[in-house]
Chains A and B, each alone.
Chain A
Amino acid sequence: KNQVEQSPQSLIILEGKNCTLQCNYTVSPFSNLRWYKQDTGRGPVSLTIMTFSENTKSNGRYTATLDADTKQSSLHITASQLSDSASYICVATGGSQGNLIFGKGTKLSVKP
């Protein structure tokens, strides 16, 4: 069964600290891996997209990694800011119809 699992479910960190969110996927055939940021009550906004041949991609203070062999991805946030408080959703694209398979998200809270 195609699925995406994220950990932790929620995370609280202090402003200025770094953090890493994890994503494991079982999707076959696999095409690409996406990370989205979703502010409370808003739609998701794309942070990165990585194909199976890419192993890292950055977007400002956000750096995503992908290990297609172990089927794992991580999102590292550097020098967190209060505005980073949001849910972060990992999405794998693949399956027989190239569908988006969503993880349940990690809710990050950055405290002053």
Chain B
Amino acid sequence: DVKVTQSSRYLVKRTGEKVFLECVQDMDHENMFWYRQDPGLGLRLIYFSYDVKMKEKGDIPEGYSVSREKKERFSLILESASTNQTSMYLCGTSPSGGAVTEVFFGQGTRLTVV
């Protein structure tokens, strides 16, 4: 079974802090994604990566950056956390090979910025 592990289930941070959300997968997948999920808005893509050291902006990259130094790890960074970044963050992974590949999600990190 694919395992996608996010480092924290719940996180509370203060406004202005630098926040790191970590995601690790054990299936050697090329593609990794970061989404945020807010009530009434569904999942929105923040950043994705097709390979080590490669990153592409999604629909809402402002206020975020990412790092992929190793294939199995994809980090989401909030440079200076703000209250409007309070949300559920979901990491996803998929193998390469076209548009019909399965996307597997981690359990989510609920981030609260106070």
Contacts and interface: CB of A to CB of B under 8 A. Distances in A.
Interface stretch (A17-25, A37-45, A55-63, A65-73): A37-45
Interface string A27-44: 000011010000001111
Interface residues of B, number: 20
Contacts of A98: 98-99
B43 interface: yes
A46 B102 contact: yes
B103 interface: yes
Nearest to A36: B105
B105 A45 contact: yes
A108 interface: no
Q: Is the interface of A mostly helix, strand, loop or mixed?
A: strand
B45 interface: yes
B7 to A, nearest CB: 14
B29 interface: no
A100 B45 contact: yes
Q: Classify chain A: how many residues form its interface, as a range.
A: 20 to 34
Nearest to A6: B42
A74 interface: no
Contacts of A32: 99-100
Contacts of A105: 42
28 contacts: A31-B99, A31-B100, A32-B100, A41-B9, A41-B108, A41-B110, A42-B107, A43-B4, A43-B90, A43-B106, A43-B108, A44-B43, A44-B90, A44-B105, A45-B105, A46-B102, A46-B103, A46-B104, A49-B100, A51-B100, A93-B99, A93-B100, A94-B99, A98-B98, A102-B42, A102-B43, A103-B42, A104-B41
Given A89-B42, A98-B98, 9 more contacts: A34-B103, A43-B4, A43-B107, A45-B105, A49-B102, A93-B99, A93-B100, A94-B99, A102-B42
